[in-house]
Amino acid sequence: MTAQLLSDAFYLTLKALWTGSPSKPKKRKPRSVALGVEPFSAGRDPVQLFTAVSNVTENLGWDESLAQAALVADWPRLVGPDTAANTQIEQFESGILTVRCASTAWSTQLTFIASDFLSRLILAHPDAGLTKITFVGPNTPSWKHGPRAIPGRGVRDTYG
């Protein structure tokens, strides 16, 4: 016996003792009927692209995310050009749509008609899972820090 054959036999013996599996791999049983091999078997018919894509999005759970993206893309048409010019969708999470407004006046006025916007958006995109709209004012720097900060009501509507 050559050195190579002896080392291979020794390795296979140790492998069988260590792993508890035989050294020779078992042969697989051949499938009695291979799936999708026959030309006219089930599942081989052509399908429309829309059907295939909708099946993929449904199986991966993308339906709600795609509906939310469609709502964001459709925002200017649904709320009007003036409102769209003064608002920006900031977040859509857990059914709550957060909209940042150009000024606190816009935020206040849109809060009054939020229920109208909500019903309009739900009618246009029912699969988006929208439950509430929140309008917030513009981003402003904080005046509540530093060595000379004092307690009080702050600067009011300086930025909008």
Dihedral of CA 102/105/108/114: which sign? negative
Residue 79, pLDDT > 70, answer yes
Which of 47, 90, 92, 84 has its CA nearest to residue 66? Answer: 92
Do 98 and 90 touch, CB atoms closer than 8 A? yes
Predicted pLDDT of residue 108: 93
pLDDT band at 154 (very low <50, low <70, confident <90, very high): low
Q: Which residue has the higher pLDDT, 21 or 125?
A: 125
Do 138 and 99 touch, CB atoms closer than 8 A? no
**Which whole number is the average pLDDT over 118-132?**
91
* Averaged confidence pLDDT in the chain: 81
Predicted pLDDT of residue 121: 92
**Which whole number is the average pLDDT over 61-83?**
89
Domains of the chain and CATH, by start = 63-136 (3.30.300.180)
Cβ atoms within 10 Å, residue 130: 20
- Full-model pTM: 0.58
**Dist. CA 77–CA 129, nearest whole Å:** 19
Predicted pLDDT of residue 34: 58
CA distances from 31 to 28, 40, 83 (A): 9, 19, 63
Predicted pLDDT of residue 30: 64
**Dist. CA 98–CA 32, nearest whole Å:** 57
